[in-house]
Chains A and B, each alone.
Chain A
Amino acid sequence: MNAEHKSLERKNPFTPEPARIVRTYPLTDDVKFFQVRLVDMDKALLFKYRPGQFAMISVLGTGEAPFCISSTPSRPGLLEFCIRKAGTVTGALFKLKENSLIGLRGPYGNGFPVDDMKNKDIIIVLGGLVVAPLRSVLLYCLDNRDQFGKVSVLYGAKRPAEMIFREEYFSLKERGDLECHLTVDQDDTGTWKENIGVVTTLFPRLKKVDPDATYSLVCGPPVMYKFVIKELLKLNIPKNQILMTLERRMKCGVGKCGHCAIDYIYTCLDGPVFTYWDVLHMRELI
């Protein structure tokens, strides 16, 4: 046989590690927060990951699905997920109570290039309910605040109730070391004091942008990308410094099952973080 096929004793990358739900509570009507810890404490502490990476979560008897990690590696031990109820696995996850056992494996994917982003200015643009991966990188920047330049956050939700981690963002506004602008499409509470309008209406509020020294990270529903990217290009931010995460069907997370293939790359290995340049030169990205 080929020299490549060596030892039989190898780790099975598909084996879910037992993990426990430490905390869970609803964030909106259909998004729930999960704090998870690997049962094996050593493995929990050694679980090294980059913001933007994802994990495969198994619910016993239901199945397995990929989820972006929304906690930051700068706070090791516990993993956090913001999960939107969408399919069978999430449906079962939502029914699980604290202290329930689940299976977890990972981390997978490329994640954000946090090393390249060091000393650069960061503009984070969030839209709607799909904000999990950017929470990870935002917390990472805050935990390592001195390693990054200016940090700005623009977050647009449909309604105040759909702004995930609303309180966290309000408290960010109190901090002096970053800009945070919030907006909702519609205020159905009558108590909203921030901007009303889509997320692009926040762009004029950004203080002077030095495009070449800026990384912009975008995450939201597909319709949002087009408009946000237009604004970022107007600011002259280079195409390969506009980063976004994409969602695809995945059954393995490790480049075997094929489902997340886009042209000739696999989202699970080469993504889920892509640059706008990737999007332009690959045919099927968005």
Chain B
Amino acid sequence: MRILKLKKADLYRFLEVIYKEADIWAPQKKGDKFVFDRVDDFSKIELQTTRTIIPPKKIMVPPMFNMFDFNEAGYKEDFSHISKKILFGIHPCDIHGLLTLDKLFIQEYPDPYYMGAREKTLILGLSCWPDEHCFCKSTRTNIIEEGYDLFFTDLDEFFLVWIGSSQGDDLVKLAPDKFDENLSDKDIQAYIRWQNDKEKAFKTEIDFVTMPDLMELKYKAPFWQEAGDACLACGSCSMVCPTCNCYNVADKTFLGGKPGKRIRTWDSCTLPEYSEVAGGENFREDKSDRLKLWYTHKLQAYVSKYGKPSCVGCGRCIATCPVGINVKTIARALEGEEVDAFWKKMSREVTK
């Protein structure tokens, strides 16, 4: 794999060149958080970001989009969310998130809505620095070896740029003078130092090896009920999770002879109607049962199929759940440790 050097000051110049090829989407500020958005002004691109509120899955399958226009003549597919994009500033955990979604959306019957957008999106990854919620080291998604076209490691003075695909190579060739093939020993040392320092910077660690067994052994543990009692069933954990893929479909009709639309929206297994069948029977009426499904999928199910958890350690559930139900606190509860979270406090209050 070729690794090149790009001067910090040359990044925007490079982006300006490739901007002619496609819209660039990159992390930008929203309040005191970050979101992936279309870039209109390069100065608004944030290079030192933590997680965005919602992962880049929104670019492949938007939260709400139309699958088909329909009328008496039949169903006509609508791929209007798909356009050529360059996604810049995506962190290793989120690239792993997309690789995880790939497996699901490709298997058996490829989903053309996801795949179409995925194929038209170039992935320009960017290195990051862990905050208190990041635990990608534990999920081994802190390092990325595939799934990007270019990957930029930020070493303060300059970027090291990995070329991950032929299309990535094409982008570099649009501005060959900006990239330097010759890395000095000093450059390499800087990179090694950076990597070592980053390894040590993680504050949250979770032992995922034991999780599948613990999910099985602790399936009836009382803490599930406590978490269920506190769960607001707000679905936020799924919306922000880079590997949650569930969706709902509903037909919408309009007045005045306009064609109808088959609308696909993000869904969550923590919502009440998720497992309800026609006639009203609900296979997971209890919130704790729904949480168990969520965590079975993150900590156990994917492991049995692909040998790794479907959690990528981005920390979004930790940053998002208002009552503190997240991979970290559930893992601690599974390990039988003290949990410092609102859902646990609430249960103590209730039993008091």
Q: Which residues of A contact B (CB under 8 A)?
A: 1-2, 4-5, 8, 10-16, 18, 58, 60-65, 84, 86-90, 101, 103, 247-249, 251-252, 254-259, 261, 263-264, 269, 283-284
Chain B residues whose C-beta falls within 8 Å of the C-beta of A15 in the assembled complex: 68, 75, 77
**If A2-B147, A5-B119, A12-B77 touch, does A87 touch B279 (CB 8 Å cutoff)?**
yes
Chain A residues whose C-beta falls within 8 Å of the C-beta of B67 in the assembled complex: 14
| B12-43 interface bits toward A, Cβ cutoff 8 Å, 1 = contact, 0 = none | 00000000000000000000000000000000
Show 16 residue pairs from A and B whose CB-CB distance is below 8 angstroms, ordered by the A residue.
A1-B118, A2-B102, A2-B146, A5-B115, A10-B112, A14-B77, A60-B71, A64-B262, A87-B278, A249-B283, A252-B249, A255-B107, A257-B248, A258-B267, A259-B275, A263-B301
Q: Are A62 and B165 in contact (CB under 8 A)?
A: no
Interface residues of B in 302-327 (CB under 8 A from A): 302, 304-305
Secondary structure dominating the interface of A: loop
Identity of the chain A residue whose Cβ is nearest the Cβ of B289 in the assembled complex: A284
CB distance from B339 to the nearest CB of A (A): 23
Q: Which of B108, B253, B297 contacts A269 (CB 8 A)?
A: B108
Chain B residues whose C-beta falls within 8 Å of the C-beta of A284 in the assembled complex: 283-284, 289, 293
**If A256-B247, A263-B296 touch, does A13 touch B276 (CB 8 Å cutoff)?**
no
Chain A residues whose C-beta falls within 8 Å of the C-beta of B116 in the assembled complex: 8
Chain A residues whose C-beta falls within 8 Å of the C-beta of B102 in the assembled complex: 2, 4-5
Report the bound CA distance from A8 to B118 in whole Å: 11
Chain A residues whose C-beta falls within 8 Å of the C-beta of B110 in the assembled complex: 10, 13
Q: Are B278 and A12 in contact (CB under 8 A)?
A: no
CB distance from B294 to the nearest CB of A (A): 10
Identity of the chain A residue whose Cβ is nearest the Cβ of B248 in the assembled complex: A251
B94 within 8 A of A: no
B347 within 8 A of A: no
B74 within 8 A of A: yes
B245 within 8 A of A: yes
Report the bound CA distance from A12 to B111 in whole Å: 7
Identity of the chain A residue whose Cβ is nearest the Cβ of B259 in the assembled complex: A61
CB distance from A220 to the nearest CB of B (A): 14
Q: Are A60 and B260 in contact (CB under 8 A)?
A: yes
Q: Are A61 and B111 in contact (CB under 8 A)?
A: no
Which of A58, A86, A90, A259 has the most chain B CB within a 10 Å cutoff? Answer: A259
B210 within 8 A of A: no
Beyond the given pairs A64-B251, A255-B104, 10 more chain A to chain B contacts, judged by CB atoms under 8 angstroms and listed by A's residue number, are A2-B146, A10-B115, A15-B75, A64-B262, A101-B72, A257-B248, A258-B245, A259-B267, A261-B293, A284-B283
How many residues belonging to B are interface residues under a CB distance threshold of 8 Å? 57
What 7 pairs between A and B have smallest CB-CB spacing?
A87-B278, A264-B301, A258-B246, A86-B279, A86-B278, A254-B109, A13-B109
Q: Which residues of B contact A (CB under 8 A)?
A: 67-68, 70-72, 74-75, 77, 102, 104-112, 115-116, 118-119, 146-147, 149, 165, 167, 219, 245-251, 253, 260, 262, 267, 269, 274-279, 283-284, 289, 293, 296-297, 300-302, 304-305
Secondary structure dominating the interface of B: mixed
Chain B residues whose C-beta falls within 8 Å of the C-beta of A2 in the assembled complex: 102, 146-147
Report the bound CA distance from A286 to B100 in whole Å: 29
Q: Which of B75, B119, B276, B283 contacts A16 (CB 8 A)?
A: B75
Q: Which of A5, A18, A254, A257 contacts B118 (CB 8 A)?
A: A5
Report the bound CA distance from A264 to B260 in whole Å: 35
Q: Are B276 and A251 in contact (CB under 8 A)?
A: no
Report the bound CA distance from A159 to B102 in whole Å: 50
Identity of the chain B residue whose Cβ is nearest the Cβ of A62 in the assembled complex: B251
Chain A residues whose C-beta falls within 8 Å of the C-beta of B219 in the assembled complex: 283
Q: Are A259 and B274 in contact (CB under 8 A)?
A: yes
Chain B residues whose C-beta falls within 8 Å of the C-beta of A60 in the assembled complex: 70-72, 260
CB distance from B153 to the nearest CB of A (A): 21
Chain A residues whose C-beta falls within 8 Å of the C-beta of B253 in the assembled complex: 61
Report the bound CA distance from A283 to B220 in whole Å: 11
Which of A5, A18, A88 has the most chain B CB within a 10 Å cutoff? Answer: A5
Q: Are B251 and A61 in contact (CB under 8 A)?
A: yes
Q: Which of B74, B246, B278 contacts A90 (CB 8 A)?
A: B278
Q: Are B275 and A58 in contact (CB under 8 A)?
A: no
**If A2-B102, A2-B146, A15-B75 touch, does A251 touch B247 (CB 8 Å cutoff)?**
yes
Chain B residues whose C-beta falls within 8 Å of the C-beta of A84 in the assembled complex: 279
Report the bound CA distance from A259 to B282 in whole Å: 12
Chain A residues whose C-beta falls within 8 Å of the C-beta of B262 in the assembled complex: 64
Identity of the chain B residue whose Cβ is nearest the Cβ of A108 in the assembled complex: B109
CB distance from A12 to the nearest CB of B (A): 5
Chain B residues whose C-beta falls within 8 Å of the C-beta of A261 in the assembled complex: 269, 293, 297
Q: Are A251 and B305 in contact (CB under 8 A)?
A: no
**If A90-B278, A258-B267 touch, does A248 touch B283 (CB 8 Å cutoff)?**
yes
